Amino acid sequence: MERYDLPMSVPFVHRVCFTRDSFAVDNSLLRDLLSEGGGRRVLVFLEAAVADAWPLLTAQIQSYFSVGNVTHSGTVVGFGGEPAKADDHLVRSVWDKIEKEKIDRHSYVLCIGGGAFLDAVGFGVATAHRGIRFLRFPTTTLSQDDSGVGVKNGINSFGKKNWVGTFSVPYAVVNDFLFLRSQNPEINRQGLIEAIKVALVKDVAFFDWIEEHAAALSLLQDDVLQECVKRSALLHARHITSGGDPFEMGSSRPLDFGHWAAHKLEQLTQFQLSHAAAVAIGLWLDVKYSVKCGLLLQSHAERIGRVLQRMEMPMFHEMLSVRDADGALLVIKGLEEFREHLGGRLTVLLLKEPGVGVDAYEMDASLIETCVLEMQQAAMQLR
């Protein structure tokens, strides 16, 4: 018997860009990115909601690619949101179009849309020809400050979030701040929860900045909003590229603070509750739990709570209190599903202080119940 362990390293470059009005003829960012890769053709997938908000965009894209050496193979408009991830219908339509247009691994697929649309199209692109160069254009705060700059894609299956998918580093991510102007203000605001999250676990100075600018962020003031999105995006991207585990081979998931309950809440509401709203509630639950288990000072939790309130984040949902036939909170089942998604040991990030997270390997169901009850009582007092 013989065995050879041959180490292999595959270098990636994670290009994260910020701009406005990407498809203006005099904006060379995209043209430069494509020319660097030497690709021959580009196929565009555009979320219908974005196409509706920007009715001239399709023609503008066509005009943009009339200049340069890359051939535009068309723009496909498709529906996004959580239904895009509910099954593989969008993924299969991506495969069909790639095959029909003969898009190969020396070509590009460009996707413009929110996080769910990027996830589903990205999964199709990552599995066609075993991976085609993919450029993401996130159009929401939630996707620009978090998921759009990540290296994951996928769709839901078996009633579970992102059960089918791949890790695939995009050729480039372009955060075009102009797209944020057309987003619903409430959804726009809620998308900033991922900025609050990454600040709490990675960068206390950023959390201090968010706290200082909470009122302006709530009003979605343009310059402050862009700064928040940019700082959040770079914190997420730098963790992925330098954190030592970009494809989540281990059990620690610091960027998923608040997400074990969030994913379960989305499932329990049949994905009627948005990811951003669910994360806000899940984050607040884990902040309160961090206090109850003796990790976090109550004064720190109160600071965090005030920021969530000032930025009009949801802090409770009735499904958090729903119980099964045995009287146990249904949301608690999200812990095992969270562990199962990665395998290995349950690892949940809790908070020691703003900017400092700590891994926990078990959670006390009775403390979770206490936190949920307090959240429910606080919500009732606000009615």
- Written as six digits, the tokens of 324 are 């099964």
Of 148 and 38, the one with more pLDDT: 148
Helices (H), 219-274: 222-242, 259-268
pTM: 0.93
Cα angle 87, 88, 90 (rounded to 5 degrees) comes to 110
Q: What's the full length of the chain, in residues?
A: 383
Q: Which residues contact 246 (CB under 8 A, 6 or more apart)?
A: 151, 167, 169, 240
Task: Give the residue-averaged pLDDT of 212-230.
Answer: 97
pLDDT at 382 over 80: no
pLDDT at 103: 95
The radius of gyration of the chain from alpha carbons, rounded to an integer in Å, stands at: 21
pLDDT, tens digit, 9 for 90 and up, residues 160-191? 888 999 999 999 999 999 999 989 999 999 99
> Architecture of domain 16-182 in CATH?
3-Layer(aba) Sandwich (3.40)
Instruction: Say if CB 341 and CB 189 are below 8 A apart.
Output: no
d(CA 193, CA 207) in angstroms, rounded, equals 11
Give domain limits for the chain.
16-182, 185-381
d(CA 341, CA 350) in angstroms, rounded, equals 19
pLDDT, tens digit, 9 for 90 and up, residues 191-204? 999 999 999 999 99
pLDDT at 136: 98
pLDDT, tens digit, 9 for 90 and up, residues 130-163? 999 999 999 999 999 998 999 999 999 988 888 9
pLDDT at 23: 96
pLDDT band at 244 (very low <50, low <70, confident <90, very high): confident
pLDDT at 143: 96
d(CA 93, CA 76) in angstroms, rounded, equals 10
pLDDT, tens digit, 9 for 90 and up, residues 43-77? 999 999 999 999 999 999 999 998 878 899 999 99
pLDDT at 323: 93
Task: Give the residue-averaged pLDDT of 321-327.
Answer: 90
Q: Which residues contact 106 (CB under 8 A, 6 or more apart)?
A: 38, 39, 40, 133
The class of domain 185-381 in CATH terms is mainly alpha
The average confidence (pLDDT) of the chain is 93
pLDDT band at 311 (very low <50, low <70, confident <90, very high): very high
Instruction: Say if CB 315 and CB 165 are below 8 A apart.
Output: no
Burial of 353 (0-12, 13-18, 19+ CB in 10 A): middle
pLDDT, tens digit, 9 for 90 and up, residues 246-264? 877 766 677 889 999 999 9
Burial of 59 (0-12, 13-18, 19+ CB in 10 A): exposed
End-to-end CA distance of the chain: 71
pLDDT at 374: 95
Largest CA distance in the chain: 71
Question: Could you give the percent of the chain with pLDDT greater than 70?
Answer: 99
d(CA 34, CA 43) in angstroms, rounded, equals 12
Crossing angle for the helix pair 275-292 and 365-381, nearest 10 degrees?
120
Cα-based distances in Å from 321 to 44, 194, 372, 373, 374 = 43, 24, 7, 8, 11
Which residue(s) pair with 4 in the sheet? none
pLDDT at 251: 61
